[in-house]
Amino acid sequence: MDPQASRTIEVAALGRPFSLGTLYDCRQDSLVPGLTLWDSDDLEKDTRERPKPSSDFEMVASESIEDKSSALEVEASLKASFLCGLVEVEGSAKYLNDSKTSKNQARVTLKYKTTTKFHELSMKHLGRGNVKHPYVFDKGIATHVVTGILYGAQAFFVFDREVSVNENHQDIQGNLKVMIKNIPCLSIEGEGSLKMEDKDKANVETFSCKFHGDFSLEKNPVSFQDAVEVYQSLPKLLGANGEKAVPVKVWLLPLTCLDSSAAKLVRQISIGLVQKSQNVLEDFSDLEMRCNDALRTQTAQQFPQIGKKLKTFKQMCSQFKLEFQRTLAKKLPLIRGGGEEEAVLAEELRKTCSSPFNSKDLNEWMDCKEREISILKSYTNKMKNTKIVPRENDLHETILSNDHAVCFVFTSLGRDEPYLSTLSNYLKQTPKPDDAQDPHTPDLEKEQWYLTKKVAETLRNKAKLFSDFAEANKENKNITFLTVGLTNETQKGASIYLYTDGLSVNENFEPPSKPTAVTGSDINHNSVMLKISPPRFGAEDITSYSVEYCVRGEDGWKQETASRAEEVTVSGLSPNTEYMFRCRAETPVGAGPANEVSGSIQTLPCSPPGKPNVECNSSEISVSWKKPAELGQDVQVLSYIVEYAKPDHQVKEEDLHWEQMMAGAEKAIISGLQPETEYAVRMASSHLFLRQ
């Protein structure tokens, strides 16, 4: 037998109704009501009472089971009983059950403790032969008797503050600590408000408060100011003589000290196994918080497939946790009473850690879901001018209200996940297998649709096409752009659906990307030719190209629609003017994104000179012409260049040997020519000299 099991035990009362002489079963950590070793009259006399006045306060910043138990002075064995549900707590001990529901909570707890007196039995009760009802020993339903009680009261003020995405959790936690630490020193002003600076008042208004205590309050505090008022009133609430104090700690004497035939506590559960059990349960609590946070995200609400999986996962974890607690509740009393060896508990812990519900796999799956939510959020944030439709019924209603609906569909959100099936199958097994670890436990990373390289690339490309198409058509009232999650095994990851007049037209629609390149050529005084390279994506649905242009530095784009030809001439331009050009592909649904010509294009300063009039004699040619019909703004012709050459039918015109001469007016005489010789004459508009 464990030598510790034969000694007097100190245990926290935890709000349970202890009184001197109460029988207690340490195997179950439960009171035994109704039976007693002494009559009530005997228990009311010959007891000793000593004053034990004390009061203290401290802060508890940690949310771990270990620190909560320490705050309530709960030792390892009683903690094990609490963890598996053998012990029901009341009053201030309900603090043990108050856990955070979100990782985004900053929490600090203020503990107040006071003691009033110590009450104990005497040898007139515990001496040999003084037990009034010895037959109780034979029943074997109790192992200890309460021989001493420390009276007092405890209170826990639990302060919470939500931490937003833009705030630093550590900074908020630190600020919370500072403000809570000041509560014992704060005072209330005459009008009932806190005596503190305005900025601090504004700060504490964001705190919420929950109260767990052994005091009877008219109204529980819910705010920081409420908490200050209640805290200051606590000493008076126990009564003038502490008559409203409750047991906070009890001393238990083994019944074997009074009668060797009594039932006994054979062994306590080792601290190591209690710690391992605690770690298992804390891991599940941590997972529950992560699930709650994920379910609260806008993304999980926008895509119910994610929320459904998270809820299923959370429910299965809760079920397994409950089964684990029930197993502990069954095994602990047997081990303590000597009915089973402690190795049985160690084996249960081993089976838990080797089951599909082991902490590593559970957290890895949760990591994957959080990453999936982040990816979805990243893509949906980029999809401007798009409505997210959470349900398929809403989708059908929306597509009927527009001529065209272009819908970006996440197609793999609802696909089955083998790991969730593994968890479900394990819970259905009764009894659980000795070697619970399935050798075929799925590779969680490979299960995730978004981690496949091909799918990730497809998702990225289609999201880009969809976003650009939506942006290009944001002013088009005949098109609506939607995002939804629908399961489609033939389109992995994502696809773009096209609906026309409420009917599905294409489940793999590819909007056009911007033209690969747009370059200017054949620039004249009033026109520019653009060469268009087709888009990389969506070229098959193009019906035409739309060319837009505007004067550089001015607002207002003009538009011309051209055919599918890859060369488009934009005419009607002004001479000597810089223009910006851009081009986009047109489809029956809408226009694609535009590609701009790199830099501006300047039209020529003026139109060519008029057609030349030529007169010849034996050695001269007289050439006259009209001024250019169109001149750009601030353009003046200073001179003309006249070129002439002897034709050679075996040489291209541009390769002839051209002679040049300058003319200051619209007439020139070319002299010194050879008689009976053919000459070619030209005037090139590109050779005009201009003053601006």
DSSP state of 631: B
Q: Where are the beta strands (DSSP E) in 21-124?
A: 23-25, 30-32, 48-60, 105-120
CA distances from 453 to 212, 370, 457, 459, 492 (A): 53, 19, 6, 10, 11
**Contact indicator for 103, 293 with CB cutoff of 8 Å:** yes
Selection from 246, 273, 292 nearest residue 99 by Cα: 292
Whole-number Å distance between alpha carbons of 16 and 246 = 9
Q: Pairing relation of β-strands 527-535 and 544-551?
A: unpaired
Of how many residues is the chain composed?
Answer: 692
In this structure, are strands 23-25 and 30-32 parallel, antiparallel, or unpaired?
A: antiparallel
How far apart are the C-alpha atoms of 640 and 609, rounded to whole Å? 9
Distance, in Å, from the CA atom of 344 to the CA atom of 335, rounded to the nearest integer, reads 8
Nearest Cα to 320, choosing from 361, 355, 369? 355
Separation of alpha carbons 619 and 670, rounded Å:
8
The residue ranges of the chain whose pLDDT is under 50 are 190, 439-440, 686-692
Rg of the chain's alpha carbons, rounded to an integer?
A: 44
Three-class SS string for 364-405?
A: HHHHHHHHHHHHHHHHHHHCCCCEECCCHHHHHHHHCCCCEE
What is the Cα–Cα distance from 183 to 159, expressed in whole angstroms? 12
pLDDT value for 376: 95
Please give the angle made by the CA atoms of 470, 473 and 476, to the nearest 5 degrees: 130
- Angle, helices 271-296 vs 343-354, to 10°: value is 30
- Decide if 58 contacts 111 (C-beta within 8 A): yes
Give residue 2's pLDDT: 57
- Residue 1's pLDDT is 52
Q: CA-CA distance, 302 to 314, in Å (whole number)?
A: 19
What is the set of domains in the chain, with CATH numbers? 3-268 (no CATH), 278-506 (no CATH), 515-602 (2.60.40.10), 613-691 (2.60.40.10)
The strand ranges marked E within 224-299 are 246-254
Distance CA 340, CA 674 (A): 130
pLDDT (0 to 100) of residue 3: 59
pLDDT tens for 591-625 read 999 998 888 888 888 888 888 888 888 888 888 88
Report the candidate in 284, 296, 324, 261 with the shortest Cα–Cα distance to residue 85. 324
